[in-house]
Amino acid sequence: MECDQLVLCDVPRPRNANATRQAILEAARERFCAESYDDVGMRDVARDVGVDAALISRYFGSKEDLFVAVLDSCKNGRDLMDGPRDDFGQRLAREIVYGEAAACAPDDGSGRMRGLLILLRSIGSSKAMDVVQHTTNSRFFEPLTQWIGGEDAPVRARLAAGLIMGMAISRELSDGFSNLDEAQKASLAGRMADALQGLVDG
């Protein structure tokens, strides 16, 4: 049997429509985890799943619609605030510094920042900018501001968000802070935790 360029013979086709849709969504999530919006093609996702690209359009519509569906499938930014308020800084710092916030981590507690990291990977795309801005505000900035509370909550939330996003990008660019030894990673996590907790506590 010969395969056309959109089909992988060694990838079994899902058995039903729901399974097909879920397989497409998971493949797209993996792609957007690893590449920017502009670099992900519908045919790439189709090839990963072993279906025709037209089927993706049938289930999700446009590439932008697929991107939104991927973001909707990720945990909401409110999940970052789960847990005691007094150790928020420590939790977030450890997730970022020690890789527990990896973009493609399993969809459990360790994947709470996946949606944010997908957004950050595509932040430079002019085509995805509207989606990125809207989703970042609704799923990250606004929940964090409400959770922090207080008269200057918007200021503290923006500062905390900037630190979180900046360190997440730094981790990606440095291959998980591989240039730091364990003592340096511990120091980095500690300083980041103190800074974040100070912003939360006001």
DSSP secondary structure string, 20-68?
Answer: HHHHHHHHHHHHHHHS-GGG--HHHHHHHHTS-HHHHHHHH-SHHHHHH
Q: Are both 50 and 98 inside the same structural domain?
A: no
pLDDT band at 77 (very low <50, low <70, confident <90, very high): low
Q: Which residue range is the domain that position 185 belongs to?
A: 74-201
Q: Are both 28 and 47 inside the same structural domain?
A: yes
Q: Are both 92 and 182 inside the same structural domain?
A: yes
User: Which range has the worst mean pLDDT, 5-14, 16-25, 169-178?
Assistant: 5-14
Burial of 53 (0-12, 13-18, 19+ CB in 10 A): middle
Q: Are both 54 and 132 inside the same structural domain?
A: no
Q: Are both 159 and 173 inside the same structural domain?
A: yes
**Three-state DSSP state, 72:** helix
**Does 6 map to a domain?**
no
pLDDT band at 109 (very low <50, low <70, confident <90, very high): very low
pLDDT band at 12 (very low <50, low <70, confident <90, very high): low
Average pLDDT rounded to a whole number, residues 65-88? 85
Q: Are both 156 and 60 inside the same structural domain?
A: no
Structure tokens at 67: 């991107």
pLDDT, one tens digit per residue, over 111-159 is: 566 777 788 888 888 888 888 888 888 888 898 999 999 889 999 999 9
Q: Are both 83 and 173 inside the same structural domain?
A: yes
- Of 37, 52, 72, which one is at a domain's C-terminal end? 72
So what's the pLDDT on residue 59?
94
**Does 99 map to a domain?**
yes
Q: Are both 103 and 113 inside the same structural domain?
A: yes
Q: Are both 36 and 113 inside the same structural domain?
A: no
**Does 12 map to a domain?**
no
Q: Are both 83 and 135 inside the same structural domain?
A: yes
Structure tokens at 37: 């919006």
State how many domains the chain has: 2
Q: Are both 59 and 102 inside the same structural domain?
A: no
Q: Are both 145 and 182 inside the same structural domain?
A: yes
- Of 72, 89, 111, which one is at a domain's C-terminal end? 72
Neighbouring C-alpha atoms within 13 Å toward the C-beta of 19 = 6
Structure tokens at 59: 């289930």
CATH code of the domain in which 48 resides: 1.10.10.60
